[in-house]
Structure 1
Amino acid sequence: MVHRDDLVPESAPSPSAAPPQGGARRIAIISAGVGAGHDGAAAGLAQRLSEHGYLVDRHDFLDLLPTGTGRLLCGAYHRMLTLMPDGYQRLYTATDRAARPGALWRALFRAAEQRTLRALAPDTCAVVSTYPGASQVLGALRRRRSLTVPAFTYLTDFSVHTLWVAPGIDAHLAVHPVPAAQAHVQGAAAVTVVGPVTDARFTPAGAGQRAAARERFALPADAPLALLVAGSWGVGPVRRAAAEIRETGIAVPVVVCGRNEALVAELREDGIEHAFGWVDDMPELMHACDVLVQNAGGLTSLEAFAAGLPVASYRCIPGHGRTNADALDEAGLAAWIRDPADLGPVLAELLHGPRGRAQRTVGLDLHRLAPGPVTAIAARTGPHTAPGAQPAARRFAGRRRIALTAVTVAATACLGVAAPLAYAYNETPARFSAVAHYLDGDGR
């Protein structure tokens, strides 16, 4: 979602991202029903592409794995996060340090290759992945030239695990220069900063919307409200975080537990009055609240930026939850509260101080000034070639590379990154070197 006061929204096609010529063209998006973040990014991307005249097919990578395997892996991942978080942290760290996926993962990805090719319609002109496993499969198919149309990875996380970077992928699209720099350092091809894609309903609360939203959700009319989220699965030490927010006396906790109805009941037993399960209208709930506290750094954080809420990361889940919190803190977009003693003071700063105002500005600019992914995809999507056919002549490949380079430079310049990068440098100069090398064009 891009909401702008004085800029043309991406939904209005611009000359640089005009509707395809010669009839609608088809793009496939491969996501995964693991939590809700990957699918949410795929939905936002599909909406943008459709608004620019493309036909869009959606596929779930879990369904492209051998029968039953995808759901088994998803369930195992859920159980590890819930029952063995330390074990998941060790697994995440070990795979992040590996030069390439292990033998078991490679065999699993290889088993999905033919299913992936069969899933693509003959007139598909490009494929976009919003899930690391799908990117590994598409990259392998591109390297062997079994897939002859461009393949893109849309990096949905703010931190880039090594599985996100797959040799053979034509371009990696990032929501911000910090994940772009991480991908670049790992050797990702054609890293391009395009900004996030979220539902257009996520906007700052207008006159009267805040009061109406509070009334609808039966929330206190005047108290500061801290919206505590834990993803679609409701995982992590949510009960402890909710109790600690309440104990600060700075804000009233409003907790969204996703599909974890047992957690809702536990919170209400703990005396947390405002606990919800799955919420269909998160934009309006964000309109009711004053600050977001999150533990995974996923899609909900991007939605909060669009809604004008300052964001804090607290009691993060292992693996990507902690690395995303670190990256968001480096970008100046979300404060990472590592010490419970800092919870109250940081919430007060975000609610009433200059830190909160600065984060709101940076978060809104991330959406307002981003060029969006459609331009970057269009720049590399040339004349139609069947996905499995022999590649046609590529006389215009050089021109497309020049166009994509121009898009990359424009995206980095226009994204409003000066404030978050200056903040990141002032707070963490040692970690800033990767971003500096990326923006300077150092390395690949």
Structure 2
Amino acid sequence: MGEIALNEVAYEPKKERALVLTLSFGYGHVRAAQAIAQQLRTILSPERVLLLDALDGCRFFFHLFYVWPYWAMIRHAPKLWARLFTARRHHMHKKTAPALLFEWGCAHVFRTIESFAPDVIIAVEVAACEIAALARRRGQTEARILAVITDYETEPVWVQDEVSHYAVADSHTAEQLCAWGVRKDAISVTGIPSITETGSEKKALAHHRLDDGRPVVLLMGGGMGPTRMDQVAAHLCSCGEPLQLIAIAGRDERARRALARLQATPPVTLHRIGWTDDVPSFMKAADVLISKPGGLTLTEAANCALPLVLYDPIPGPEEKNAMRLVEGGAALLARDPKQAAEYALALLRDDARRQEMKVQLARFAASDAAQRIARLALHGEDPRMSADGRSEDGFYRNSQTYQTVEPIAQRA
């Protein structure tokens, strides 16, 4: 009995507090953070799990000097952003902004860390990782830090001495971290965490009142833009084929206004959707997805075995995301909105090609990633993998996915 009591004292997850920290630079980071928090709440009591978006409550000048310049570059000067991202990697930058900007601009986050007193901080965005590391460096917390990377590409800023462990999308991302000095035993290849619809295709069609006799094309623009999804939609609305187009603009008001001006020519029908938390259900109902290649969107599509046409990747991680899936035969990459529409129509006509893509998408699926990351955060290691469960290169690995694949020629 005494030995059992000692074991219980050594690890009692019910008594731990977990802080899931992110910054809402787009839809993916927030949704990944929500998926992890949801899983943690099933293990711990809900009041012991806090999900915090650092941009919710940050000071005006933090938006002025950190947030808005990013969006301005992405929307109006993507080549400048590409050069900046490349320079950050080339020069091995260890910060995206001076520490004082985080300390002053996100003071509420540091206060929350002190008052909530988490035992573990799960950082689901690069600046969230910087903030968590800074709080530990300043002595405001002794929490373990688990960094969760939600793309198939990373950068040296993620490598902070204060981080205990990394959860990454695939072995390529793991190898990048190792090249920058992270130990292999501090990395788990979990896949990208998401909330995945588990119902049937027919249930999803009925839920959204769609006609199961016509194919469904789902069009997305990344949740917060920038996007040319209205131009893709315009091509599809006039294609003359019997399809149902669902366009999800998210919080991108510019995209919503542009979509509102479109009229579909029968037999095409257009369904315009703003912000929704039901994306996996829409994916379950769709035959083809046209989307910007955000890491979480790609994982959700892979979990639903939904063939992909990618367009308008943001320079940096999104370009690498697209490359990984295209080389793996799981997606097509269009050079412009017109080609994106043409690729989607070609896939609708080619059942064999869509089936082939579904097979390849299984390599990128990670439906249990959020659950594994939650347990990794609390146990300090992946409970599904023991030392003899490592692959030859030494990484803890999702047993279903992330094998090395030979490039498959892109074809429409």
Same fold (TM over 0.5): yes
Alpha-carbon distance in structure 1 between the residues aligned to 2:77 and 2:254: 18
Task: Quote the offset at 1:128 in angstroms.
Answer: 1.0
Name the structure 2 match of 1:105: 98
TM-score (norm 1): 0.72
User: For residue 290 of structure 1, what is the aligned residue in structure 2?
Assistant: 287
Q: Please name the residue that 1:193 is paired with.
A: 189
Which of 139, 149, 154 lines up with 1:155 in the alignment? 149
How far 1:160 moved relative to its partner? 1.4
Describe the shift of the 1:187–1:316 C-alpha distance in structure 2 as closer, same or farther (beyond 3 A).
same
C-alpha change, 1:32 and 1:296, in structure 2 (3 Å) is same
Task: Quote the Cα distance in structure 1 between the aligned partners of 2:20 and 2:204.
Answer: 35
2:321 equivalent in structure 1: 324
What per-residue deviation string (whole Å, max 9, x for no partner) do you get for residues 396-418 of structure 1? xxxx99x8756765852613333
What residue is the counterpart of 2:200 in the other structure? 205
Q: Which amino acid aligns with 2:86?
A: T
Unpaired segments ≥5 residues, structure 2: 1-9, 265-269
Q: Give the Cα–Cα distance (whole angstroms) in 1 for the partners of residues 277 and 333 of structure 2.
A: 27
How many Å separate the matches in 1 of 2:177 and 2:329?
Answer: 19
Query: Does the 8 Å CA contact 2:95/2:130 hold for their aligned counterparts?
Result: no
Name 1:344's counterpart in structure 2: 342
- Deviations along 1:300-338, one digit per CA (max 9) or x if unpaired, are 222222223122211323443323222333454433234
Cα deviations by residue, 1:70-120 (Å, 9 ceiling, x for unpaired): 433333433333333343333333334331146853442455787544322
Structure 1 residue aligned with 2:217: 226
Residues 328 and 406, structure 2, Cα contact 8 Å, conserved in 1: yes
Structural mapping, 1:8-407, within 5 Å = 21=12, 23-53=14-44, 55-62=48-55, 67-72=59-64, 73-101=66-94, 104-109=97-102, 111=104, 116-120=109-113, 121=115, 123-142=117-136, 147-189=141-183, 190-200=186-196, 202-203=197-198, 205-206=200-201, 208-213=202-207, 215=209, 219=210, 221-245=212-236, 253-272=245-264, 273-338=270-335, 344-345=342-343, 348-349=346-347, 352-364=350-362, 366-368=365-367, 372-380=372-380
More displaced 10-residue stretch of structure 1: 323-332 or 230-239: 323-332
1:11 match: none
Question: Contact 1:26 / 1:125 at 8 angstroms: preserved in 2?
Answer: yes
Q: Is the 8 A contact 1:158 1:328 kept in 2?
A: no
Q: Aligned partners of 1:116, 1:342: CA distance in 2, in Å?
A: 41
Query: Residue 267 of structure 2 corresponds to which residue in structure 1?
Result: none
Task: Give the AA of the match of 1:135.
Answer: C
**Deviation of 1:155 (Å):** 0.7
* CA distance in structure 1 between the aligned counterparts of 2:174 and 2:347, rounded to whole angstroms: 29
Residue 321 of structure 1: SS of its match in structure 2?
A: helix
Q: How far off is 1:255 after superposition?
A: 1.5
How far residue 50 of structure 1 moved from its aligned partner, in angstroms, is 1.5
Cα–Cα, structure 1 residues 149 and 274, in superposed 2: closer, same or farther, change >3 Å? closer
Q: Which residue of 2 aligns with 1:396?
A: none
User: Are 1:173 and 1:193, in contact at CA under 8 Å, matched by a contact in 2?
Assistant: yes
Runs of 4+ aligned structure 1 residues displaced above 6 Å come to: 247-250
| Distance change >3 Å, CA 163–CA 356, structure 1 → 2 | farther
3-state DSSP of counterpart to 1:212: helix
Q: 1:103 to 1:58 in 2, by over 3 A?
A: closer
Specify every segment of 5 or more residues in structure 1 that has no aligned partner in the other structure, as ranges: 1-18, 382-399, 429-444
Deviation per CA, 1:175-208, whole angstroms, max 9, x where unpaired? 33333333333334522111232224x23634x3
Aligned-residue Cα RMSD (Å) equals 3.6
Q: Which residue of 2 aligns with 1:4?
A: none
When residues 351 and 310 of structure 1 are mapped into structure 2, their CA distance, relative to the original with a 3 A threshold, is farther
How many pairs are equivalent? 382
In the alignment, the residues of structure 2 paired with residue 351 and residue 69 of structure 1 have an alpha-carbon distance, to the nearest angstrom, of 51
Change (3 A) 1:254 1:113: closer
**Closer, same or farther: CA 369–276 of 1 in aligned 2, 3 Å:** closer
Assess if the C-alpha contact under 8 Å between 2:149 and 2:192 holds in 1.
no
Tell me how far apart the structure 2 counterparts of residues 333 and 147 of structure 1 sit (CA, whole Å): 42
- Report the Cα distance in structure 2 between the residues aligned to 1:249 and 1:183, rounded to whole angstroms: 48
Distance in 2 between residues matched to 1:406 and 1:68, nearest whole Å: 50
- Are 2:249 and 2:275, in contact at CA under 8 Å, matched by a contact in 1? yes
Name the SS of the counterpart of 1:231 in structure 2.
Answer: coil
Please point out which of 412, 415, 435 is paired with 2:397: 412
Asked if structure 2 preserves the Cα contact closer than 8 Å seen for 1:35 and 1:233, the reply is yes
Task: Verify the 8 A CA contact 1:224 1:289 in the aligned structure 2.
Answer: yes
Q: In structure 1, how many angstroms separate the alpha carbons of the residues matched to 2:379 and 2:233?
A: 46
1:246 to 1:90, Cα distance in 2 relative to 1, 3 A = farther
Q: Which amino acid aligns with 1:45?
A: I
* Deviation per residue, 1:133-178 (Å, 9 max, x gap): 1212333454576642311101122221333333331111013333
Q: In the TM superposition, what whole-angstrom CA distance separates every residue of 1:203-224 from its partner, at most 9, and x where no partner exists?
A: 3634x32541452xxx555332
Q: TM-score normalized by structure 2? A: 0.77
Cα distance between partner residues in 1 of 2:13 and 2:97 = 44
Determine the C-alpha separation between the residues in 2 that align with 1:427 and 1:380.
40
Contact 2:122 2:147 in 1 (8 A): yes
Q: Which deviates more from structure 2 when the two are superposed, residues 50-59 or residues 100-109? A: 100-109
Residues 1:133 and 1:405: Cα distance change in structure 2 (over 3 Å): farther
Task: Report the AA paired with residue 197 of structure 1.
Answer: P
The 8 Å contact of residues 192 and 299 in structure 2, kept in 1 or not, is answered as yes
Distance 1:264 1:368, change over 3 A: closer
